Structure 1
């Protein structure tokens, strides 16, 4: 039976790479995003892999539009089996330099977009008592960093909302499943098109992973949605374990290093186009694809992804990674004295 999948934020980055993987499996993939060029490129990728694609221009901050997209997907392909929430936007700036309107917009897309996608998916899945929802999260959903207060706040909110919905589905005895995939820094186009007020070009905090690594984690979670969450990337394990055991130390460490680690050496003039209010891939020839500008620094594989998919071995592996990280942070702290 052919799988029907809906992916928000499907025009670039993790959403784009995930669409490609589902296409290679021959799935029917409904692609939701704002940018026409990116959607067209994603549809070509899905069909080149052997799947069927339906591009639906959608702003996930608009619930009626998301609801209509779900209807359109089912009219074209039949019942939705899997819904993947990826869409987001952000602002790179100190909190004091973000306007109330900008913060609200990030929240509407990055948090309420997930709420809207989950609502639309559950409206279809609960009456049939089957289906899987995958929330693409971030290590920053449990450990915030400077310069990304709006994004981190939205990701934390998504964690809380998803836990509540999971409990409700368990209470109902529902066969619908909802899970999260917590991501590391990923080489996506966002660092070229997110609104930034930083003096230098923004970058993901190393180590950086290719979007295909993230996509493999998403597809696995869609196939095995019974787990509460999955971790992708060694740095995700390090971050979440450090937050659990040495959060105050991490505050000081990030206060000292978090500004510089999120910027390259390239100075910018602050006039770069950004996608907070309008897509930057709406014109022909502006398809950005799945990858960002950091291919030469990005990992194509993640041992931690294997550990996450094998929880017995993964517990030991993640603990070893975490202990190593804590020792490293303590050593760095001593050197900084």
Structure 2
């Protein structure tokens, strides 16, 4: 698809991946419709995008509200005449043992992360069917392939987003809608404010689990799949490797993921009070309306390569006894790299 002058709707645009994606599209001269719950942050972003050469409007939207999402789509068409690209990115999360999280909070994650994407996909595809073309991008996660402990609802939601993409692509194939595409993007851990404003019932401070990639890396991938649509793509070498290795030896990879979360995502020294985070209302901290969350650094970038080498190395091992013997070593190498990164 030609990017310049296309009409792009981005949900979850106030911070993180959504904000980075908006800025990337703005530099390409698109017409942007920016959505999230944070009106002030959206207005600031719209001004930034305009300064970069885009036409941009801010439409505060709660993605768990079907009527609000339909209004978002209507505003896009009223302002710019069509919807060429819709990026579903708005998401919330909690960190908690499954048996301790309030079920109301679990339901809220599903309402935003699953039903919000369903509402967005419905609104976008209705308009794209009328036009005969368009690209829907659903931002899922690597945890949709390798679920994490303490993130049960988020993991469920991202697996559901992947399934939604497959189902929609199948229907478009049957309807012979060759010019309408549904693309699913799977980011690994990304340097965004996400970990600052997630709900937390673990009693420990949540940090970004290494390896950490930049939000702009995901934004670049999103722009790429709009230009040349693909069914599904994992972001970064580590992400691609985790997907491959989980399909090859799921038990070992799941054990490794559990170990990494326990020792790399929950602080062992800093406590945290129970909090609903931004589940029921947007964060009021201006610092959380940014692209980055302050989790990156040169050492982390360098040591990411070490972890990546450990994971990718498994792929070179032959099946059978040698594979089984190599798996614990790979998990140990990954854990060692994670500990080194945490100390940076």
- With the length of structure 2 as denominator, give the TM-score of the two structures: 0.86
1:200 maps to which of 201, 204, 207: 204
Per the alignment, residue 69 of structure 1 pairs with: 72
Q: Is the 8 A contact 1:37 1:286 kept in 2?
A: no
1:323 maps to which of 315, 320, 336: 315
Q: Is the 8 A contact 1:145 1:258 kept in 2?
A: yes
Question: Cα–Cα, structure 1 residues 334 and 205, in superposed 2: closer, same or farther, change >3 Å?
Answer: closer
Other structure's SS at 2:8 match:
strand
2:239 maps to which of 236, 240, 244: 236
Hey, what's the Cα distance between the residues in 1 that align with 2:118 and 2:140? 13
Per the alignment, residue 258 of structure 2 pairs with: 255
Other structure's SS at 2:315 match:
helix
Per the alignment, residue 213 of structure 2 pairs with: 209
Hey, what's the Cα distance between the residues in 2 that align with 1:97 and 1:287? 26
State the Cα deviation string for residues 98-156 of structure 1 (Å, max 9, x = none).
Answer: 11110000001011111111000011000211000011111111110111100000001
Alignment: residue pair count:
318
Shift of residue 41, structure 1, vs aligned partner: 2.6
Shift of residue 53, structure 1, vs aligned partner: 1.1
Q: CA RMSD in A?
A: 2.6
Hey, what's the Cα distance between the residues in 1 that align with 2:332 and 2:94? 33
Per the alignment, residue 221 of structure 1 pairs with: 225
Shift of residue 265, structure 1, vs aligned partner: 4.8
Hey, what's the Cα distance between the residues in 2 that align with 1:279 and 1:199? 22
- With the length of structure 1 as denominator, give the TM-score of the two structures: 0.87
The answer to whether 1:146 aligns with 2:146 is: no
Hey, what's the Cα distance between the residues in 1 that align with 2:184 and 2:8? 16
Other structure's SS at 1:270 match:
coil
1:122 maps to which of 120, 125, 132: 125
Shift of residue 70, structure 1, vs aligned partner: 0.5
Per the alignment, residue 342 of structure 2 pairs with: none
1:156 maps to which of 146, 159, 172: 159
Other structure's SS at 2:99 match:
helix
Hey, what's the Cα distance between the residues in 2 that align with 1:178 and 1:332? 34
Unaligned stretches of 5+ in structure 2?
Answer: 318-322, 336-344
The answer to whether 1:27 aligns with 2:25 is: no
Hey, what's the Cα distance between the residues in 1 that align with 2:215 and 2:231? 22
Per the alignment, residue 269 of structure 1 pairs with: 272
Q: 5 Å matches for 1:165-176?
A: 165-174=168-177, 175-176=179-180
2:187 maps to which of 162, 179, 183: 183
Q: Is the 8 A contact 1:238 1:322 kept in 2?
A: no
Other structure's SS at 1:258 match:
helix
Q: Which moved more, 1:170-179 or 1:191-200?
A: 191-200
Per the alignment, residue 294 of structure 1 pairs with: 295
